[in-house]
DNA sequence: CTGAAAGCGCTTACAG
DNA sequence: CTGAAAGCGCTTACAG
């Protein structure tokens, strides 16, 4: 303890074990070509000195890092679910995850933000990167997979099968006997919103029902943005007997609006949402909705990224995760008039 | 484009701008002593080449990294809330956050796990580290702050004022007229569980009520572990008229058990929880509980860590975040017999 | 104001 | 089986 060093380095271990740092490195990385005696001494030195390898130094030298990166705008529940799914996929793979979150709050809303974050992680720390709901496509030398990409994205991506989900939701309402079905869509620059609206139109089309554009309102997925279109729909001379909202947050808001207006759900109005967030099961009545397992999205995205890290692909991989209709109390047959 | 390099480095920028890499570094880090002409050329070169600085290389050289680390076992809702609070604190501070999650699932439950993670981050990438609900105390050269530390912890830490919260909860029941108040505690190795039980005992003591140990059951904070103790309590010859559960998850389970037994809440049994998770407001009846803002915990922990990074302290800082009673429908006066 | 050079802690051919 | 040495991409005294 003559020198007061601030960190225990590989050099210290080497000295303590009486070998070179190359040998220490080999032992740590489990590489062949070390006598068992030397390996033993190195291991002993490591535990005596409490040595821990430097992630940064080894990342700088190594090309394969065995770490995946993730970039997200916030840690609200959607991202939290994604993270859980990613961890499910990583379990036991030998890969770790590093999440980098920039402290400056506004930077987050600027255009190049995700690109910067991805470069930061991929260049140096991670073998590839996951981007959650990016505002724009992102590129990198290392593979990048988007979860919920923008509309028309040309990146590797994972998203829910929004189109099929909407079709099933609307078909459910049709089967109950509804003919005037309103839609409250989301921001159409997002692929998800677009596909959900497409599904709505497609299902009505298939049923031979003409699309009535006055029955289509638009929010931006956030609950509050559903209030105005919901009221507009219900103020119609001939209001819809059912409303399909493109997110559960918005659907629950529609439910509130309906009750405030003295409407019985589902007696006077059936309501279907999309997402199956936990609150949907707890509303009164509980919400019929389309389940998209966000956790599963994270899982599939991590799997895809892992495979791309091993076999880089120049064609674009996009995977659609199935959705499923969950029928609960907020839908029923229309009042027979 | 004669050389096909894989990454744009500072060297490339320097060459392109006709300066040395030292000058490039100075421009990037906003250091003085660069002529405006040189700075201009460097900036131009950076944008032409699309240069992005290497987080890893600069971390290796620099002592101050302007990055905080966070280590957690999972990303379930508790940790997600913590993350939100941490991001609140970081906003605009110029500090970033890096979360490192090990992929191997069991490692997580082993003893030295947090220590290893903290060393990994703190040694090299971060100026300091946050540890969420560690199983044991963790040390490092760089400052470490625990959120919800173990009982008797000697680390810097942030935790809810669990004792005061329990006292208020039990006093609320006492004020309603309850005298036989059951407790379902948590795992007592956790400081939080211990303090909550202490608060219960203290409040009864102050009210001059002898502690009846048969009224004390124990779970481990997870919902399911409350079922057996709840039934045991309600099977008593003289059952409690109120039950205080040390977590909302457990309290909601008690509510279920009570209803399954045909008890009216709060008519036959009052129930109080602890935590104020979102589900508590939605139960039927809604749960009276003690609010501990987990997000606030994250916020305060990040603030503390930031201050410790700037002024390292050798005394132990522990901060207690206030809790607050939220009275809802699950508590009322006992039936007058 | 500017640059050459040392060095952060590792890994990896290369030569024994 | 083992080690000396180069180099990953930066920052930072130091000398001009």
Dump pLDDT digits (tens) for A173-188. 999 999 999 999 998 7
Q: How far apart are CA B95 and CA B117, in angstroms?
A: 20
Query: Within an 8 Å CB–CB cutoff, is residue B281 touching chain A?
Result: no
The closest alpha carbon to A144, from A329, A302, A320, belongs to A302
CB-CB contact of B144 with B131 (8 Å):
yes
Do A273 and A287 meet the contact criterion of CB atoms below 8 Å apart?
Answer: yes
pLDDT at B5: 45
Q: Which positions in strand C are less than 7 Å from the protein's CB atoms?
A: 1-5, 7-13
Which chain A residues are closer than 8 Å to B100 by Cβ? Answer: 96-99
Query: Do strands B288-291 and B324-326 pair parallel, antiparallel, or not at all (unpaired)?
Result: antiparallel
So what's the pLDDT on residue B101?
Answer: 81
Q: Residue B130 — φ and ψ, nearest 5°? A: -105, 135
Segment B141-159 mean pLDDT? 92
What tens digit of pLDDT does each residue of B97-109 get? Answer: 999 887 665 455 5
Kindly identify which residue of chain B lies nearest to residue A95, measuring between CA atoms: B103
Predicted TM-score (pTM) of this structure: 0.82
Q: Which pLDDT score is estimated for B92? A: 76
B121 CA to C13 C1' in angstroms comes to 29
Of A246, A231, A157, A237, nearest to A197 by C-alpha is A246
Q: Does B77 touch chain A (CB under 8 A)?
A: yes
The secondary structure of residue A337, as a DSSP letter, is: -
Mean pLDDT, range A204-211, rounded to an integer? 96
- The answer to whether B254 and B245 have CB atoms below 8 angstroms apart is yes
CA dist A74 and A58 (Å) reads: 29
Query: How far apart (Å, rounded) are the C-alpha atoms in residues A168 and B164?
Result: 52
Q: Residues B11-35: what's their mean pLDDT?
A: 91
Whether residue B186 contacts residue B226, with contact meaning beta carbons closer than 8 Å, is answered with no
Task: List, in order, residues 6 or more apart from B30 with CB less than 8 Å away.
Answer: none
B62 touches strand D (CB under 7 A): yes
CB atoms within 10 A of CB A267: 11
Distance CA A192, CA A189 (A): 9
Contact B50, B8 (CB under 8 A): yes
Q: Using the CA of B25, which nucleotide's C1' is the nearest one? A: D11
| Among chain A residues 41-100, those with CB within 7 Å of any atom of strand C | 51-54, 57-58, 60-63
Mean pLDDT over each residue of chain A, to the nearest integer? 89
CA dist list (Å): B37 to A310, B23, B42, B44: 45, 12, 9, 11
A91 Cβ under 8 Å from any chain B Cβ: yes
Judged by C1' against the alpha carbon of A21, the nearest nucleotide is D3
Q: Is A32 on the interface with B (CB under 8 A)?
A: no
Q: What residue segments make up the domains of chain A, in order of their start?
A: 10-53, 67-160+295-319, 162-292
Task: Evaluate whether B290 touches B273 at the Cβ level (below 8 Å).
Answer: yes
* B83 at A interface, C-beta within 8 A: yes
Contact between A265 and A330 (Cβ < 8 Å): yes
Give the end-to-end CA distance of chain B in Å, rounded to a whole number.
Answer: 91
Q: Chain A window 137-166: which residues touch B at a Cβ cutoff of 8 Å?
A: 141
Residues 6+ apart with CB under 8 A from A328: A280, A281, A285, A286, A287, A288, A289
Judging by beta carbons within 10 Å of its beta carbon (0-12, 13-18, 19+), is residue B116 exposed, middle or buried? middle
**Rounded distance between C-alpha atoms, residue A242 and residue A178, angstroms:** 7
Distance A34 CA to C16 C1' (A): 15
Determine the Cα–Cα distance for residues B255 and B266; give it in Å rounded to an integer.
10
Closest CA to A169 of A187, A151, A160, A181: A181
Q: Are B92 and B100 a contacting pair, CB within 8 Å?
A: no
Which CATH number is associated with domain A162-292?
A: 3.40.50.2300
Can you tell me the mean pLDDT for A323-327?
96
* Residue A3 DSSP SS3: coil
Q: How far apart are alpha carbons B277 and B194 in whole angstroms? A: 20
DSSP designation for B109 = G
Band of pLDDT at residue B1, cut at 50, 70 and 90: very low
Predicted confidence at residue A116, as pLDDT, reads 81
Of B63, B88, B291, the closest CA to residue B172 belongs to B291
B302 neighbors B67 (Cβ within 8 angstroms) = no
CATH topology of domain B67-160+295-321: Rossmann fold (3.40.50)
Residue B2's pLDDT is what? 33
Say if domain A67-160+295-319 classifies as CATH 3.40.50.2300.
yes
pLDDT recorded at residue A77: 73
* 8 Å CB contact between B156 and B318: yes
Least confident of A106-120, B29-43, B165-179, B229-243: A106-120
Q: What is the mean pLDDT of residues A20-47?
A: 91
Rounded Cα gap, residues B289 and A72, in angstroms: 33
What does the alpha-carbon distance between residue B133 and residue A265 come to, in Å, rounded to a whole number? 43
Q: For A83, how many CA atoms within 13 A lie in the half-sphere containing its CB?
A: 28
| B60 CA from C6 C1′ (Å) | 14
Length of chain B, in residues: 337
Q: Are A215 and A180 in contact (CB under 8 A)?
A: yes
List the alpha helices (DSSP H) in B9-124.
10-17, 21-28, 36-49, 55-61, 77-90, 113-124
* Mean pLDDT score, B304-314: 89
Would strands A288-291 and A324-326 be described as parallel, antiparallel, or unpaired? antiparallel
Q: Check CB contact under 8 Å for A56 and B125.
A: yes
Crossing angle of helices A248-260 and A227-235, rounded to 10°: 50
A229/B302 Cα distance (integer angstroms):
41
Distance B32 CA to C5 C1' (A): 21
What number is the average pLDDT over the span B290-311? 93
Q: To which CATH superfamily is domain A10-53 assigned?
A: lambda repressor-like DNA-binding domains (1.10.260.40)
Nearest to B289 by CA among B242, B321, B322, B325: B325
Domain pair A10-53 / A162-292, same fold: no
B118-133 pLDDT tens trace:
888 887 789 999 999 8
The closest of A255, A256, A245 to A220, measured between CA atoms, is A245
What percent of chain A has a predicted confidence (pLDDT) above 70? Answer: 95
Strands B128-132 and B144-147, bridge-based pairing: parallel
| Contact with chain A for residue B313, Cβ under 8 A | no
Element (H, E) at A137: none
Q: What pLDDT, on a 0 to 100 scale, did the predictor assign at position A78?
A: 80
The answer to whether the Cβ–Cβ distance between B60 and A57 falls below 8 Å is yes
Give A-chain residues touching B303 at CB under 8 angstroms. Answer: none
Q: What is the pLDDT of residue B104?
A: 62
CA atoms lying within 13 Å on the CB side of residue B214: 10
Has residue B261 got a pLDDT over 60?
yes
Pick the more confident residue, A84 or B188: A84
Written in H, E and C, the secondary structure of B212-266 is: CHHHEEECCCCHHHHHHHHHHHHHCCCCCCEEEECCHHHHHHHHHHHHHCCCCCC
Instruction: Convert B274-324 into a string of H (helix), E (strand) and C (coil).
Output: EECCCHHHHCCCCCEEEECCHHHHHHHHHHHHHHHHHCCCCCCCEEEECCE
Residue A130 buriedness (CB in 10 A; 0-12 / 13-18 / 19+) = buried
């Amino acid at each position: 303890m003559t020198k007061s060093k601030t960190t225990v380095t590989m050099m210290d271990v080497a000295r303590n074990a009486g070998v070179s740092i190359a040998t220490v490195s080999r032992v740590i990385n489990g590489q062949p070509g070390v006598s068992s005696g030397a390996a033993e001494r190195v291991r002993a030195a490591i535990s005596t000195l409490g040595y821990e390898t430097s992630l940064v130094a080894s990342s700088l030298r190594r090309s394969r890092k065995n770490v995946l990166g993730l970039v997200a705008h916030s840690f609200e529940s959607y991202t939290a679910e994604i993270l859980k799914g990613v961890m499910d996929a990583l379990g036991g793979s030998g890969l770790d995850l590093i999440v980098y979150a920039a402290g400056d709050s506004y930077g987050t809303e600027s255009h190049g933000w995700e690109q910067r974050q991805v470069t930061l992680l991929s260049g140096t720390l991670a073998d590839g990167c996951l981007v959650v709901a990016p505002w724009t496509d992102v590129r990198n030398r290392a593979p990048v997979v988007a979860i919920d990409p923008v509309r028309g994205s040309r990146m590797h991506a994972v998203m829910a099968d929004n189109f099929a989900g909407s079709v099933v939701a609307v078909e459910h309402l049709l089967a109950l006997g509804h003919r005037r079905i309103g839609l409250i869509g989301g921001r159409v620059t997002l692929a998800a919103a677009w596909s959900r609206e497409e599904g709505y139109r497609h299902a009505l089309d298939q049923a031979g029902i003409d699309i009535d554009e006055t029955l289509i309102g638009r929010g931006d997925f956030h609950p509050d943005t559903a209030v105005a279109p919901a009221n507009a729909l219900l103020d119609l001379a001939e209001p819809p007997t059912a409303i399909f909202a493109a997110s559960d947050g918005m659907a629950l808001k529609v439910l509130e609006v309906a009750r405030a207006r003295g409407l019985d759900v589902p007696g006077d109005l059936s309501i279907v949402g999309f997402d199956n967030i936990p609150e949907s099961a707890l509303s009164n009545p509980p919400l019929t909705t389309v389940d998209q397992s966000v956790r599963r999205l994270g899982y599939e995205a991590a799997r895809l990224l892992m495979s791309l890290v091993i076999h880089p692909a120049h064609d674009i991989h996009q995977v659609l995760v199935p959705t499923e209709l969950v029928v609960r109390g907020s839908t029923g047959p229309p009042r027979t008039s």
